[in-house]
Structure formats: structure tokens, C-alpha cells
């Protein structure tokens, strides 16, 4: 037997999510619902209309099905309930920002220097955090410590992104 191709794999990306969250957003329409609901509460009717404007023609029953899946996963929640003429309208919202984009083909060559330089600085910070997170109470597995560091980074990045437009 001869080897025709062998390539060393360098890990350069970690995605932090649960299997439940991944299953919930595997459908492109549900991922679009997450994007639509970020910072804006909407009813199922309003979501169906917004989806239609972005090219997803979904029946209201299908939209409600998608909302139920997202709600069960914990990615969205009912944020308001209104009663009008005996009818109940639920409004959904999320505090989770889904960053979804296609990476340009020249991404690596265009941004490799800034990524390498910045990564080195952040690595120093993370090496200081890792011993602290491994001493946490409860779960003490290395994976949990890694998850905790990722959650710290995630929340810090969220604060930076959310406050970048504010002065």
C-alpha cells in the first residue's frame, strides 16, 4: 500500500457549542431566525414575514416548529406575551449573537500576520487563566477547564463587540 497524500492537521479553530445548540441551528432557516431575533423581539407572524424578505418562504406552522426547536435548545425564549381580543401573541427574543459568514479565499494570506501577532498576546493571557480555571469547584476535568476559558473569552469578546459602537 502506498500513501498518496498525508497532511499534518494544525488545529486553528475551536467552536464552543453544545450538541443541542448545533442541532437547533443546523437548519439555515433557524440560523436566520437567530439572526433576525438578535436584539429584536418578534412574533411568529413577524418572523415569517422577515424570513420571507430574506428568501426563506416558510409557512407559519413551519416557523412555529422552528421556534419550538430553538426554544427547547435554550437559544431563544419568550420575552413578551400579549392578549388582544382573546388571542394570545408570543414574542420571541435571543441574547445569543450568531456570527455566520463565508471566509474569503485570501483570508489566510491577508490576515495571517495580525492573527499571529494578536494570538501570541492572547495566549499569554490564557496561559495565566488556565491554572485558575482548573482549580474550580465541581467538575475538574481538563475539558471543563478548557470550556471555562472559552466561556471567559466568549463573554469578553461579546462585551468588546457589543460596546465597540458605543462611545
**pLDDT per residue as tens digits for the range 35-63:** 999 889 999 999 999 999 999 999 999 99
For the whole prediction, is pTM greater than 0.75?
A: no
Q: What is the pLDDT confidence band of residue 13, given thresholds at 50, 70 and 90? A: low
Residues β-bridged to residue 38: 94
Other C-beta atoms closer than 10 Å to the C-beta of 30 total 23
Task: Name the DSSP letter for residue 26.
Answer: S
Domains of the chain and any CATH numbers:
19-93 (1.10.10.10), 107-163 (no CATH)
- Percent above pLDDT 90 for the chain: 40
- Crossing angle between the packed helical segments 142-163 and 107-134, to the nearest 10 degrees: 120
Amino acid at each position: 500500500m502506498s500513501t498518496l497524500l498525508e497532511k499534518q492537521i494544525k488545529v486553528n479553530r475551536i467552536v464552543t457549542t453544545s450538541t443541542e445548540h448545533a442541532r437547533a441551528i443546523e437548519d439555515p432557516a433557524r440560523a436566520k431566525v437567530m439572526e433576525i431575533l438578535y436584539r429584536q423581539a418578534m412574533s411568529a407572524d413577524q418572523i415569517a414575514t422577515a424570513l420571507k424578505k430574506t428568501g426563506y418562504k416558510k409557512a407559519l406552522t413551519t416557523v412555529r416548529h422552528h421556534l419550538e426547536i430553538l426554544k427547547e435548545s435554550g437559544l431563544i425564549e419568550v420575552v413578551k406575551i400579549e392578549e388582544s381580543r382573546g388571542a394570545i401573541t408570543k414574542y420571541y427574543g435571543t441574547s445569543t449573537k450568531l456570527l455566520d459568514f463565508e471566509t474569503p479565499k485570501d483570508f489566510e494570506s491577508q490576515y495571517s500576520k495580525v492573527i499571529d501577532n494578536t494570538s501570541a498576546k492572547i495566549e499569554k493571557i490564557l496561559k495565566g487563566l488556565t491554572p485558575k480555571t482548573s482549580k474550580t469547584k465541581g467538575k475538574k476535568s481538563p475539558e471543563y477547564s478548557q470550556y471555562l476559558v472559552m466561556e471567559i473569552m466568549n463573554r469578553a469578546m461579546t462585551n468588546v463587540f457589543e460596546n465597540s459602537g458605543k462611545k
